[in-house]
């Protein structure tokens, strides 16, 4: 049995999905986190269920690519049962999507998630009444605490085997008459697997996709346009606006029927929220929170890193006791140890506290508040609106950050946002910043590099958006502040860390062995000579750093790990000056996106734009690194 979870952004679909399937996707207290669907199989007793986490959508009218992806999946008929996940604390708004899903006539379960939040707001919802109105099972859950998740599969089975199709809630008579007229004239072969009523409503709304298909029948298209004009004449508004208003009124009436609103419970959280988003105190608090994260990551990472790297260094020094020095076997074992050292001794000590900090900020709900504050600052340079979401996601990883650009309607906005997203320091670049700048120069220097990165992105954003018309300001749901569940924090941290351990670390070890093999054959000298005009002459870096930047294209943290190996020490401050460490780090942060990010760019934007962004990042990295070398050489 295939079960699809669908609902509005931030309703808790992914949290429910992870609670049922184990952690397969990273969730966040941030609207629109899921931008592609995730599939998993779950065995319950003797039965196997396939569950699908679809992107959050506000309606079945596909405005952006994420909504289009959800709609395509639902309309394909792949799902046996649809679980409509609703944020119970915003029931009246959420029911508008429920009304549209009912038109699809697929077995459905209504899941009232975050029921505790609704009760805290003084909203009491009658499950029985809501179930009676729609004729489908209604369950209550608190997904982040695992409450009520056991009811999902039993309710889905009930809906499927008893064919519990949701009851349609009808519009006013004049609109229903127009819908019936269109149903009668739709050809039998026209999307015959989709309910006639749903098609008729979407054609009345002027759905672009359906209009393109119905365009093959000119007479029918003319009749539909005539009916749309009649609605406009009668109501004084376009047909899609009229239907949207009808749906909104239905949702409000349903809410009044099934819910009672009492006095909300006064909470300390509201007072904290007011402080975090205050136009005067919000910004210093933002700075303190981010600085606190950087300080903790640096201090914790440093404490763990030093003893671990010392262990591996001593093992490498003792290697000639077991294997003949300068033999091929010696170089292979040396590369193997340096690869393990780079991951366990350098990358992981900084990644663990960083991922924990990022997860806590996500689950608390601070990231959308940070986006709200930053929108005010960035509005004038075009970095506003929905573009904030890909930027915030990119701090974890640029790949989902680029994929998140599909929520943007304009191709130009998607290109600009993707270009800027690949410049944001992801977890891999964060490892480089803390491993090189934080470890050898200090935490303030590492924080300064982040501020420098933000400044560059703002300037580049202003340049790229200069000739592009202003888009709408930021319209984004701000979810309530929540206390993060400790289990969720550690599970999400593990999910992110597992990606490094399963993908990056083996790649790191293999790359380390390859570099050792190149050293054995002395091919590294040839490659370094090829790169020396840029690396040595232009950037003033040691010649042997050239080959390390090549490995950085695979994964950004590889450039740092390979640097330890190329320089034959983990104490880089003994072989490189502070200026060289800063120039190397700046170049690494901005040059060519990693292979995974380039794959995402290719998928989302196409080959030409991927190449254009790659060339832009190389040019930007060279300019910034060279400028930094010249400017800092005067200061340092």
Is 488 annotated among the ligand-binding residues? no
**pLDDT tens column, 609-626:** 999 999 999 999 999 999
Is 599 annotated among the ligand-binding residues? no
Q: Which of 10-24, 496-510, 545-559 has the highest mean pLDDT?
A: 545-559
Which own/partner contact pairs does 205-210 have at CB distance under 8 Å and 24+ positions apart? 205/61, 205/239, 205/240, 205/243, 205/244, 206/238, 206/239, 206/240, 207/61, 207/62, 209/62
- DSSP letter, residue 145: G
Is 9 annotated among the ligand-binding residues? yes
Non-local (6+) Cβ contacts of 234 within 8 A are 174
The pair of three-digit structure tokens given for residue 509, joined into one six-digit string: 């070890």
In this predicted structure, what is the pLDDT of residue 354? 77
The pair of three-digit structure tokens given for residue 57, joined into one six-digit string: 């959508």
Per the prediction, the chain carries an average pLDDT of 83
Is 40 annotated among the ligand-binding residues? no
Is 528 annotated among the ligand-binding residues? no
pLDDT interval class at 470 (50, 70, 90): low
Average pLDDT over every residue of 581-595 = 90
**pLDDT tens column, 8-41:** 888 888 888 878 876 444 444 434 444 467 788 8
Q: Per-residue pLDDT for 412 more than 60?
A: yes
In this predicted structure, what is the pLDDT of residue 27? 43
User: Do 452 and 587 contact (CB within 8 A), yes or no?
Assistant: no
User: Do 20 and 149 contact (CB within 8 A), yes or no?
Assistant: yes
**Any idea which residue has 């007793």 for tokens?**
45
Q: Which residue has the higher pLDDT, 338 or 572?
A: 572
Average pLDDT over every residue of 156-167 = 94
In this predicted structure, what is the pLDDT of residue 33? 46
User: Do 83 and 138 contact (CB within 8 A), yes or no?
Assistant: no
Q: Per-residue pLDDT for 131 more than 70?
A: yes
Q: Per-residue pLDDT for 101 more than 90?
A: yes
Map residue 204 onto helix, strand or coil: helix
Average pLDDT over every residue of 499-523 = 76
CA distances, 119 to each of 92, 97, 145, 266 (Å): 15, 22, 16, 12
Average pLDDT over every residue of 56-84 = 79
Is 560 annotated among the ligand-binding residues? no
DSSP line for 532-601: HIIIIIIT---GGGHHHHHHTTT-HHHHHHHHHHHTT-S-GGGTS-HHHHHHHHHHHHHSS--HHHHHHH
Distance CA 484, CA 492 (A): 11
What's the pTM value of the predicted model, to 2 decimals? 0.63
- DSSP letter, residue 409: S
Q: Which of 66-70, 92-96, 403-407 has the highest mean pLDDT?
A: 92-96
Shortest CA distance to 504 belongs to which of 562, 544, 449?
562
- DSSP letter, residue 77: T
Is 53 annotated among the ligand-binding residues? yes
Q: Per-residue pLDDT for 322 more than 80?
A: yes
Is 335 annotated among the ligand-binding residues? no
Is 87 annotated among the ligand-binding residues? no
The pair of three-digit structure tokens given for residue 607, joined into one six-digit string: 């080959």
In this predicted structure, what is the pLDDT of residue 28? 42
Measured in degrees and rounded to the nearest 5, phi and psi for residue 394 equal -65, -20
The pair of three-digit structure tokens given for residue 592, joined into one six-digit string: 């060519």
Distance CA 232, CA 228 (A): 6
In this predicted structure, what is the pLDDT of residue 631? 92
Q: Per-residue pLDDT for 148 more than 80?
A: yes
Question: Burial of 118 by CB count in 10 Å (0-12 exposed, 13-18 middle, 19+ buried)?
Answer: buried
**pLDDT tens column, 388-401:** 667 777 776 787 67
Average pLDDT over every residue of 574-601 = 88
Q: Which residue has the higher pLDDT, 48 or 265?
A: 48
Is 113 annotated among the ligand-binding residues? yes
Q: Which residue has the higher pLDDT, 565 or 142?
A: 142
Is 95 annotated among the ligand-binding residues? no
Is 14 annotated among the ligand-binding residues? yes
Is 225 annotated among the ligand-binding residues? no
Q: Per-residue pLDDT for 176 more than 90?
A: yes
Q: Which residue has the higher pLDDT, 113 or 365?
A: 113
The pair of three-digit structure tokens given for residue 317, joined into one six-digit string: 């020094």
In this predicted structure, what is the pLDDT of residue 137? 96
User: Do 136 and 157 contact (CB within 8 A), yes or no?
Assistant: no
Distance CA 359, CA 106 (A): 36
Is 66 annotated among the ligand-binding residues? no
pLDDT interval class at 140 (50, 70, 90): very high
Domains and CATH numbers, the chain: 2-161 (3.40.50.300), 173-261 (1.10.287.1770), 282-635 (no CATH)
Is 12 annotated among the ligand-binding residues? yes
Give the bridge partners for 484, in sequence order.
none
Distance CA 475, CA 581 (A): 41
Is 301 annotated among the ligand-binding residues? no
Is 137 annotated among the ligand-binding residues? no
In this predicted structure, what is the pLDDT of residue 26? 45
CA dihedral 442, 564, 449, 627 (to 10 degrees): 120
Q: Which residues of 321-346 are buried (b: 16+ CB within 10 A; e: fewer)?
A: eeeeeeeeebbbbbbebbbbbbbbbb
pLDDT interval class at 135 (50, 70, 90): very high
CA distances, 223 to each of 217, 219, 220 (Å): 10, 6, 5
């Amino acid at each position: 049995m295939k079960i699809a979870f669908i609902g509005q952004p931030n309703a808790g679909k992914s949290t429910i999905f992870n609670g049922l399937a184990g952690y397969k996707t990273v969730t966040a207290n941030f609207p629109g986190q899921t931008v592609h669907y995730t599939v998993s199989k779950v065995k319950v007793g003797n039965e196997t269920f396939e569950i699908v986490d679809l992107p959050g959508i506000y309606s079945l009218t596909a405005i952006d690519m994420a909504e289009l992806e959800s709609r395509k999946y639902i309309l394909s008929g792949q799902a046996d049962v649809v679980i409509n996940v609703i944020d119970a604390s915003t029931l009246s708004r959420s029911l508008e999507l429920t009304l549209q899903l009912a038109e699809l006539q697929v077995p459905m379960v209504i899941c009232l998630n975050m029921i505790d939040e609704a009760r805290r707001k003084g909203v009491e919802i009658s499950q029985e009444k809501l179930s009676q109105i729609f004729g489908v099972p209604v369950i209550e859950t608190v997904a982040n605490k695992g409450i009520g998740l056991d009811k999902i599969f039993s309710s889905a089975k009930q809906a499927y085997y008893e064919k519990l199709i949701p009851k349609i809630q009808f519009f006013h008579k004049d609109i229903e008459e127009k819908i019936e007229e269109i149903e009668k004239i739709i050809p039998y072969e026209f999307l015959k697997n989709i309910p006639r009523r749903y098609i008729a409503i979407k054609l009345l709304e002027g759905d672009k996709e359906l209009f393109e298909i119905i365009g093959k029948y000119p007479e029918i298209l003319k009749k539909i346009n005539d009916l749309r004009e009649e609605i406009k004449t009668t109501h004084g508004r376009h047909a899609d606006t009229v239907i949207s208003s009808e749906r909104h009124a239905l949702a409000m009436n349903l809410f009044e029927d099934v819910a009672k609103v009492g006095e909300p419970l006064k909470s300390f959280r509201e007072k904290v929220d007011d402080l975090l988003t205050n136009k005067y105190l919000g910004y210093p608090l933002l700075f303190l929170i981010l600085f606190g994260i950087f300080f903790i990551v640096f201090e914790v990472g440093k404490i763990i890193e030093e003893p671990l790297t010392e262990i591996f260094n001593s093992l490498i020094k003792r290697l000639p006791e077991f294997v003949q020095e300068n033999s091929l076997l010696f170089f292979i074992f040396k590369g193997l140890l340096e690869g393990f050292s780079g991951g366990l001794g350098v990358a992981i000590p900084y990644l663990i506290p960083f991922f924990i900090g990022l997860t806590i900020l996500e689950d608390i709900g601070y990231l959308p508040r940070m986006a709200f504050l930053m929108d005010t600052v960035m509005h004038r340079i075009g970095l506003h609106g929905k573009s904030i979401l890909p930027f915030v996601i990119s701090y974890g990883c640029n790949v989902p950050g680029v994929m998140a650009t599909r929520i943007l309607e304009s191709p130009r906005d998607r290109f600009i946002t993707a270009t800027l997203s690949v410049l944001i320091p992801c977890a891999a670049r964060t490892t480089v910043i803390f491993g090189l700048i934080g470890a050898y120069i200090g935490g303030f220097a590492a924080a300064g590099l982040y501020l420098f990165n933000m400044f560059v992105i703002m300037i580049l954003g202003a340049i790229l958006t200069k000739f592009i018309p202003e888009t709408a300001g930021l319209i984004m749901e701000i979810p309530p502040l929540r206390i993060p569940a400790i289990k969720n924090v550690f599970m999400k941290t593990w999910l992110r860390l597992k990606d490094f351990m399963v993908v990056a670390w083996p790649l790191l070890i293999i790359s380390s062995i390859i570099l050792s093999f190149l050293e054995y054959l002395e091919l590294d000298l040839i490659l370094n000579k090829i790169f020396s005009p840029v690396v040595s002459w232009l950037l003033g870096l040691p010649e042997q750093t050239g080959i390390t930047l090549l490995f950085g294209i695979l994964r950004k943290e590889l450039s740092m790990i390979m640097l330890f190996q190329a320089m034959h020490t983990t104490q880089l401050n003994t072989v490189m000056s502070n200026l060289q460490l800063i120039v190397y780090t700046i170049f690494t942060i901005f040059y060519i996106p990693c292979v995974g990010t380039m794959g995402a760019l290719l998928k989302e934007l196409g080959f030409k734009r991927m190449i254009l962004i790659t060339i832009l990042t190389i040019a930007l990295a060279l300019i910034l690194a060279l400028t930094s070398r010249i400017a800092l050489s005067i200061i340092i």
